[in-house]
């Protein structure tokens, strides 16, 4: 599995954890869901940092040189 695919899956899990935080029925449930959302956020950011650390691929297209962004930051 590629890092981008695993980052996408982790981002989806983070979204679910945030939704659980928003729709929690009690303060304890909300607090627990917020911790899960924070943990998923850290995992997603780590995956994106790993992708950014890879060498930048340069692609030539019709005489133009295309450089992908050097880093990806989730905020």
pTM of the predicted model as reported, rounded to 2 decimal places: 0.58
Q: Regarding beta strands 64-66 and 59-61, do their DSSP bridges make them parallel or antiparallel, or are they unpaired?
A: antiparallel
What is the tens place of the pLDDT at every residue in 4-34?
788 788 888 888 888 988 899 999 999 998 8
By CB neighbour count within 10 A (0-12 exposed, 13-18 middle, 19+ buried), where does 5 fall?
A: exposed
Above 60 in pLDDT, residue 65? no
- The residue to which tokens 């997603």 are assigned: 44
Helix 27-53 with 3-22: angle, nearest 10 deg = 160
Averaged pLDDT, 28-51: 86
On the question of pLDDT at 66 being above 60, the answer is: no
Angle at 5 between CA 43 and CA 13, to 5 degrees: 50
């Amino acid at each position: 599995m590629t890092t981008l695919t695993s980052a996408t899956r982790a981002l989806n899990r983070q979204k679910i954890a945030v939704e659980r935080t928003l729709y929690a029925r009690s303060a304890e449930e909300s607090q627990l869901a917020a911790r899960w959302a924070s943990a998923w956020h850290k995992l997603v950011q780590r995956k994106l940092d790993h992708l950014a650390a890879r060498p930048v691929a340069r692609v030539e297209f019709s005489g133009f040189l295309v450089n992908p962004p050097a880093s990806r930051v989730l905020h």
